[in-house]
């Protein structure tokens, strides 16, 4: 049983809460291991959308655990970074959408975790940043790679080189988050979005996520061909038959993921 994760299943939506309030949910090796184990057990057939959030009203994830990192040597630092990067990549490539409900500080590893999710919603007290250079290191959980692709190279360099955090409204302006809500409304909005995603054809949603992720760095002709292939594959599913039949009959479609 996980020590630092709280898991709640709400129909086809799963909520995973990182709960280490004494350290503002900072990521250590144990939490990274628990996240990895959770992904091993997550049933992506019955769960159609995942929400990641942090415990409390102050912090999503305040960063990686500095008390653990402070005494690492070069080899150990590499292994710690690789462990986090591997877990975050698993989240990014899950066949179901992942929503980050950022309820406060998302600094360092917390910002990197949010960026590994498909959609980022945040509370108006959220703060985002990559302060690693002030500690003598750089982002180690793929932050340099994702941030530049998300907000552009110039803004990524500014945030990483300065180490200064930004407020929720600035994160929205530069495209780091999708929407900003009050602390009281954040989880309700995240669940409502997750429910709307879960109501759609799961095989089609998975194919759309795969297309967006895989096509990003492809030349146009290859990307278009990739999409065409997955578009065609959708017509071999029962979901496509049921969805179009329901539309033509002016009924609500029920998708079984087949």
* Biggest CA-to-CA distance, the chain: 65
Q: Which domain holds residue 182?
A: 5-198
Query: Residue 153: which CATH number?
Result: 3.90.226.10
The candidate with the shortest Cα–Cα distance to 143, out of 183, 119, 115, 177, is 115
Q: What is the pLDDT of residue 70?
A: 93
Task: Indicate which residue of 132, 227, 233, 256 is catalytic.
Answer: 132
What b-and-e string marks burial along 56-78, b requiring 16 or more CB atoms within 10 Å of the CB?
A: eeebbbbbbbeebbeeeeeeeee
Same domain, 21 and 106: yes
Task: Indicate which residue of 92, 112, 170, 251 is catalytic.
Answer: 112
Same domain, 209 and 156: no
Starting at the earlier edge strand, list the strands of the sheet with 98-102: 5-10, 13-18, 49-54, 98-102, 119-123, 179-181
Each residue of 38-52: pLDDT tens digit? 999 999 999 999 999
Q: What is the mean pLDDT of each run of 10 residues along the chain (258 residues)?
A: 92 97 94 97 96 95 91 94 97 97 97 98 98 96 96 97 97 98 97 97 95 90 93 94 92 90
Query: Residue 208: which CATH number?
Result: 1.10.12.10
**Known active-site residue 112:** yes
Same domain, 41 and 167: yes
Q: What is the pTM of this model?
A: 0.95
Same domain, 86 and 214: no
**Known active-site residue 132:** yes
Rounded-to-integer distance, Cα 56 and Cα 19, Å = 8
What is the tally of structural domains in the chain? 2
């Amino acid at each position: 049983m996980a020590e630092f994760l709280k898991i709640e299943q709400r129909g086809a939506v799963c909520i995973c809460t990182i709960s280490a309030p004494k350290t503002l949910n900072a990521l250590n090796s144990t939490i990274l291991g628990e996240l990895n184990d959770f992904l091993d057990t997550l049933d992506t057939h019955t769960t159609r959308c995942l929400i990641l959030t942090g415990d409390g009203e102050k912090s999503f994830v305040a960063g990686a655990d500095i008390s653990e990192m402070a005494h690492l040597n070069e080899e150990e630092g590499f292994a710690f970074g690789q462990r986090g990067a591997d877990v975050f990549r698993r989240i990014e490539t899950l066949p179901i959408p992942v929503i980050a409900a950022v309820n406060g500080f998302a600094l360092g590893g917390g910002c990197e975790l949010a960026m590994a999710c498909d959609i980022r919603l945040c509370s108006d007290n959220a703060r985002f940043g990559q302060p690693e250079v002030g500690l003598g290191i750089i982002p180690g959980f793929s932050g340099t790679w994702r941030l530049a692709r998300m907000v552009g190279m110039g803004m990524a360099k500014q945030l990483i080189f300065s180490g200064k955090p930004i407020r929720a409204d600035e994160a929205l302006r530069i495209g780091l988050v999708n929407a900003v809500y009050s602390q009281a409304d954040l989880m309700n909005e995240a669940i409502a979005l997750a429910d709307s995603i879960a109501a759609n054809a799961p095989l089609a949603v998975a194919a759309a996520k795969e297309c967006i992720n895989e096509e990003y760095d492809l030349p146009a002709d290859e990307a278009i061909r990739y999409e065409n292939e997955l578009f065609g594959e959708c017509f071999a599913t029962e979901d496509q038959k049921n969805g179009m039949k329901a539309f033509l009959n002016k009924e609500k479609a029920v998708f079984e993921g087949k």
